[in-house]
Structure formats: structure tokens, C-alpha cells
Structure 1
Amino acid sequence: MGRSRVRDVEMTYPLEGVRVLDLSRVLAGPFAGRMLSDLGADVVKLEPPNEDLTRLWGAVIGGVPGYFHQQNAGKRDVCIDLSVPEGVALAKQLAAKADIVIENFRPGVMDRLGLGYRQLKAARKDLILLSISGFGQDSPESQRMAYAAVIHAESGLVKRQARDGRPAQ
């Protein structure tokens, strides 16, 4: 990404030179990575061999799936299988070169993969780990999946959308 020219004024992006490894999927994590990319960070998205699920979502125009590309525009993409030791080793190598790692697995998954904060921090002391979860890392609800519909229901947003005493549609 680097630099841009606007009205003959050279501009730099605030996160130019920052390296990000994006291990996330669906919305919250990919959107965070997209924002960092928009601000100039070099974001590498790790995608499983069977594709990111969101490549199948939404309208496809000219062979390009809109939802996936909206959340992942500006990122580089690498296919790595985290279910095999060689894939985990590759992810660790990428994380060791990153300034920021983004993940939104349920709590404990990254540790079980060998990619938890302590394991990654051993290779990169100043690493920032952005770990996104809907119900925290150690709450009684921490192992629950947390997609938008769940959060909307739990927060009362669905009830607030009701009109004229009728349930929300």
C-alpha cells in the first residue's frame, strides 16, 4: 500500500510498516484486519485449505464473492492447514515476523494449536495479540459461539427492534 498522492501532496499511511497476521474468520476479526490494512498495515490473512467459509456468502459478481472481499480487501492471502504440525509451524514463523496477530477462535483453541499468546510471545517479545471473543476469555459463557444474532439476542437489541408490541421480524 505505502504512499498515496492526493492533489499532488504525498501522503503516508499511519500504520505503514506494521505487519499483521490475520487468523480470524467471519466478521469481527476480518473487519479489524481490514481497518488495519486501510490504515497502511501489511496484513496477511491465513486461510484454511478448504477456503474461508465467507467466500460462499453473498452475491458473486464477476466471480468475486462480495462479502469475503469486503472484509478482506487490501490483504495478502496464504493457505495454511492448522490441523497439521507443518501448518502450525508455518503460522508460528509468520507470527514471529508480525507486529500484530488477530484471532477470534473460542478461548483455548489457540493454546491447543500451539499458537497461544505465551507460545507466540516467546518468539516475538513485543507481539500484540488481538484476541476477539463474544463472551470474554474466562467467563462462564466463554465457550459459546458469538455471532451477531447471538449478541443481538443476548444484549436485548432484538427486543428493542420490536414495533407496536409485536416481536421483531
Structure 2
Amino acid sequence: MHVEIRTLPALRLAYLRHTGPYGAPGISQAWERLGAWCEARGLMQPRPKFYGISHDDPGATPAAQCRYDACVPVDAAFAPQGDVGVQPFAGGRYACARFTGPGRQIGAVWEWLYGQWLPASGLQADARAGVEVYDEDFAIDPATGAFSCWVCMPVR
């Protein structure tokens, strides 16, 4: 798998949080709710990038306590509303690998980045959260459930 070192921009993000096991159906439901929320507020034209932030290591955190934020960039005028909060994203240097497949396979990419690629890279993991970056042309194949995104591990 090819890894690119990228500098992600600092952003202000609106988010919906899922607390519970990483994977379906919880994270999928959070994305569906965020997408509908964005659509209702005109945030889909032009279509933005979306960001998925994994706050916890599922190997060290009980599954019921893992936190994942489905996020969309917002401007300084945005005020949190209901279930949608706002948070800063510091950006910075990330090791990014392109993932394509169904959601149930994305965990294997995270494990490979941290367990195999990182030790051989000469870099160190940073304390920031890992992030998935969903480009503006993001789509899910209805027949297979496959999609593409960048899986990005913070490094220094």
C-alpha cells in the first residue's frame, strides 16, 4: 500500500459524535444523519470534503467508549445546534493511505499503518487523533458497499 506524507489544513469542523464500537451500524448512521443535516442547511453545494475523526485506540479503549466524529468544515459564523457540535481541527503532518473497499475492511488499514508501516518509516506517531478524509466526489457503491477515502495517521 502506498503512503503519502501530507499536511492537512487547520479547520473548524461541525460534527456528530458516535460513541460505541467503530464500524457499522453506528458510524454509518452518524454519517447519514450528518449528510441529511448538511443537505438541509445548504452545505452540500459545492460539495465539501468530509472528515471522520477516530479519538480512541480500539485496542486500548473498551468498544462501548470509542468516540468517532463525522465532520464537515464550517465557517466562523457557525454556531453549534442540537446534536451537532463544533471543534477545531489543528491539521498538521499525516501519513495517508488510500482506502477503497467496504467499511468493515477499513480497520485493517489502520492496523497496517500503525503496526507495519510506522515502525519501518522512521517516523513517530503523534498524539493527535487519526482522521479519514472523504473527498468531494465521495460515493458508496450500492451493490458492494465499497467507497474510497484517505486514512491519515498523525506523524512527527
The bucket for the TM-score relative to the shorter chain is under 0.3
Name whichever structure is richer in strand by fraction: 2
Name whichever structure is richer in helix by fraction: 1
TM-score, length basis structure 1: 0.24
Task: State the structure with bigger RCO (CA 8 A, min sep 6), 1 or 2.
Answer: 2
TM-score, length basis structure 2: 0.26
